Structure 1
């Protein structure tokens, strides 16, 4: 991964503090700010290092009381749109995020926490694209996603990944970089 990022001429920041832990599943970038879930895999020191690396953005921590990661029950479904699960821990985390933020976000609440983990992309040729769990896996949550009329919705199976506490964002690294001509 480091080689690929270097080949793309991206700035790489390494965490050298061995007491710091930071898992990508606990980092939610809204486009305006970062929310970092404090979980079994991410600690305060990891959040501090992220804040040092991205000084132009606010970084707020959110306790993850249930589930593996912050993104086990929320993600971004578009600019200013947070998808959130309906469980009590997910809703408590959302309330904390809303209290800590100077920005206002729209929310899309899905019945299944795991289904809240989706991948949003704004593609030049396609517009708003959202990868989300299939209706076979989470039929009620899929109905909620169908309300997003300005998105190209692409259902993606998460059946195998969920067996190891994985989700759609676990298998992706999105890089916002124009291709070299």
Structure 2
């Protein structure tokens, strides 16, 4: 593995600004506090945080993962899905360019792709095929990053985004939930994978979405994932940090959702 794949210099994030959409269940004040802790932790891991006022409402102005797929100095930008995303995309495009990223736009009119369906292990890409991402979208990822294998993986009906169930927990380590659906997803990935990985299985699916940043694993706090927290303590022998993310996780896939991690070129 190229360990630089999980080394980052910058994180692009949105400012938590009201109003809260009526349909959302997250407590706005708690979400803002959790977001502040999240940004503080990234800074402690030597990541420069670029905070953008993206307009709109919470949570759309802080859940950024779907806006761009960033790897190896390239940022793939899907077509905006929601109304109002054009402004958010414009602001993010500008800052990614300033950080030396090469911008590639998804031009295929049939392609559907969102960042939370795209999982990069450090060696290869997997794209969850679902209501939000399709085979043409997976092809766009493969074309943007031709030096890495890219495999589409069918996500079972009713399941959410791929990175809700599986993420990177360390060098060649995949963190996956223990539910039947999550295990089946992992089996499909292992059958199709070009490389082999260690697997860390966590009892609670909501614990599976982690961040591995600059040699440190970030996972959720003990009060939110008590059983999985024990697994992290027992199995991970390198730096770990835990934070509360309960409110933000109600409106996203989890820890990976609220930042775009970049290594400045």
Cα 1:172–1:165 change in 2 (3 A) is closer
Would you say 1:33 and 2:120 are equivalent positions? no
2:223 matches 1:136 = yes
Give the corresponding residue for 2:139: 48
Q: Give the TM-score normalised by structure 1.
A: 0.90
Q: 1:75 corresponds to which residue?
A: 167
Question: Larger radius of gyration, structure 1 or 2?
Answer: 2
Contact preservation (8 Å) 2:116, 2:253: no
Q: Distance in 2 between matches of 1:67 and 1:153?
A: 28
| Secondary structure of the structure 2 residue equivalent to 1:150 | coil
Equivalent residue number for residue 125 of structure 1: none
Query: Does the CA-based 8 Å contact 1:40-1:68 persist in structure 2?
Result: no
The number of equivalent residue pairs is 173
Unaligned stretches of 5+ residues in structure 2: 1-91
Give the match for residue 58 of structure 1.
149
The TM-score, its normalising length taken from structure 2, stands at: 0.63
Is 2:210 the partner of 1:118?
yes
C-alpha deviation, 1:120, in angstroms: 0.2
Partners in 2 of 1:149 and 1:49 — Cα distance?
35
Q: Which 5+ residue runs of structure 1 have no aligned equivalent?
A: 123-127
CA contact (8 A) 1:135 1:142 kept: yes
- State how far apart, in whole Å, the 1-side matches of 2:246 and 2:140 are: 34
Matching residue of 1:153: 240
- In the alignment, which of 95, 113, 133 is matched to residue 22 of structure 1? 113
Q: Does the 8 A contact of 1:85 with 1:110 survive in 2?
A: yes
Note if contact 1:68-1:165 (Cα within 8 Å) is conserved in structure 2. no
Is residue 172 from structure 1 mapped to residue 259 from structure 2 by the alignment? yes
Using the alignment, how far apart are the partners of 2:190 and 2:227 within structure 1?
25
CA RMSD of aligned residues (A): 1.4
Which has the bigger relative contact order, CA under 8 A and spacing at least 6? 2
Give how far 1:111 is off. Answer: 0.7
Distance (Å, rounded) in 2 between the aligned partners of 1:158 and 1:62: 27
1:78 CA drift (Å): 1.1
Structure 2 equivalent of residue 94 of structure 1: 186
